[in-house]
Amino acid sequence: MTKVLAGDIGGTKTILRLTDVQSKGKIRLFQEKYPSAKYPDLVPLVREFLAAAETALGEKQIPEKACFAIAGPVVNNTAKLTNLPWLLEAHRLERDLGIGKVSLINDFAAVGYGVVALDSEDIHTLQAGKFDIKAPIAIIGAGTGLGQCFGVPLGANYHIFSTEGGHTDFAPRNQLEFDLLEYLIDKYSITRVSVERVVSGQGIVAIYQFLRDRQGSHNSKVAEIVRSWEQQAGRKEKTVDPAAAISSAALEKSDDLSEETMQIFVEAYGAEAGNLALKLLPYGGLYVAGGIAAKILPLLQEDNRFMDAFRHKGRVSGLVERVPVRVVLNPEVGLIGSASYAAHL
């Protein structure tokens, strides 16, 4: 059995998975989550993980290959984490951990490698389109931020390319969105608004604040959570998650302002996914990943709001109507992608 080590390395937490090459990363032999800041470097964390794996599995675990997905840019197999004093270099990790081959990739690129390894039950199709095996694929995912990447066919696999597409300009499509744009410019004292400020977890909260401030005082359970979050401004750790509260209330249809917030969010999300589709014409499929889409799938489908915004592209609407659009349901797609990438090293 050839074993590979996959990792999702973030400023807050690190998740490691030991898996078998043949499983494409989908079957975990052993997996653990660690608080990243507790460790001075990745090496002692991995050593602790492998020791725990040995205890749990009853024999020494020596992975032959490893891939670590990093929340940040990776240049020449080297990464400096933004929120941790870690400088990771693949060659040093190979030497210090005794692993034959180590690679570092961007965390959203790992999602890209993961989507092509998923099974049919891990995906929900929003638009069948006209699949072309020779065409590129595109991946977009709203979570803490807005990730975007794309892949081109390479033999039986794909080569994934990272992008910073989430930092392109937010493009309002109606008067309400123009008002939202002006609100964000004033609120953050900025001269431009990236699409990530709208299509992300922080964007859900910002849209809610915009509607609340526009309509005047609002009293509800969700409003209390948002106010509590606002009062904790500047704290590293928050005690509430307003984006989750807003989306949950919208799903339950228990708060009108939350419902309106998510309608704007879903339409902006669909429109940006359509923009990405126009730029790449990904007839191999456009995948909607990230931490939000699967959780709010009924809202994406409601009144066909997401796909209507996706396809609303004027004279070229016919081009995006051919793109297969799929929502990724498996929350571990990034780890699966890291393991899949390691397997092919």
| Residue-wise pLDDT tens digits, 79-96 | 988 778 899 999 999 999
**Which residue's structure tokens are 């990792």?**
7
| Residue 339 and residue 298 share a domain | no
- Other beta carbons less than 10 A from residue 80's beta carbon: 15
| Residue 220 and residue 75 share a domain | no
What element of type H or E holds 177?
A: helix 175-188
In the chain, pLDDT over 70 holds for what percent of residues? 99
Report how far apart, in Å, the C-alpha atoms of 218 and of each of 240, 254, 339 are.
Answer: 18, 14, 47
> Hey, what are 223's tokens?
């409003």
Q: Give domain status of residue 157, yes or no.
A: no
Please give the order of strands across the beta sheet that includes 137-142: 123-127, 325-328, 286-289, 137-142, 146-154, 157-162
CA 116, CA 132: separation in Å to the nearest integer? 14
CATH code for the domain of 73: 3.30.420.40
Q: Give domain status of residue 35, yes or no.
A: yes
Mean pLDDT estimate for the chain? 93
Would you state the pLDDT for residue 10? 86
In the chain, pLDDT over 90 holds for what percent of residues? 84
Q: What is the pLDDT of residues 6-57, one digit of tens each?
A: 999 988 889 999 998 776 666 789 999 999 989 999 999 999 999 999 999 9
| Residue 245 and residue 318 share a domain | yes
pLDDT (average), residues 307-323: 97
Would you state the pLDDT for residue 338? 94
Q: What is the pLDDT of residues 152-187, one digit of tens each?
A: 999 888 999 999 999 999 999 999 999 999 999 999
| Residue 106 and residue 61 share a domain | yes
Residue 84: which of 132, 129, 39, 121 has the closest Cα? 39
CA 310, CA 187: separation in Å to the nearest integer? 28
CA atoms within 13 A on the CB side of 68: 31
Q: What is the pTM of this model?
A: 0.92
**Which residue's structure tokens are 């891939």?**
67
Q: Give domain status of residue 145, yes or no.
A: no
| Residue 189 and residue 260 share a domain | yes
| Residue 322 and residue 174 share a domain | yes
CATH code for the domain of 183: 3.40.367.20
| Residue 193 and residue 114 share a domain | no
Would you state the pLDDT for residue 23? 63
Work out how many domains the chain is built from and give that number.
Answer: 2
Domain that holds residue 32: 3-118+330-343
| Residue 334 and residue 273 share a domain | no
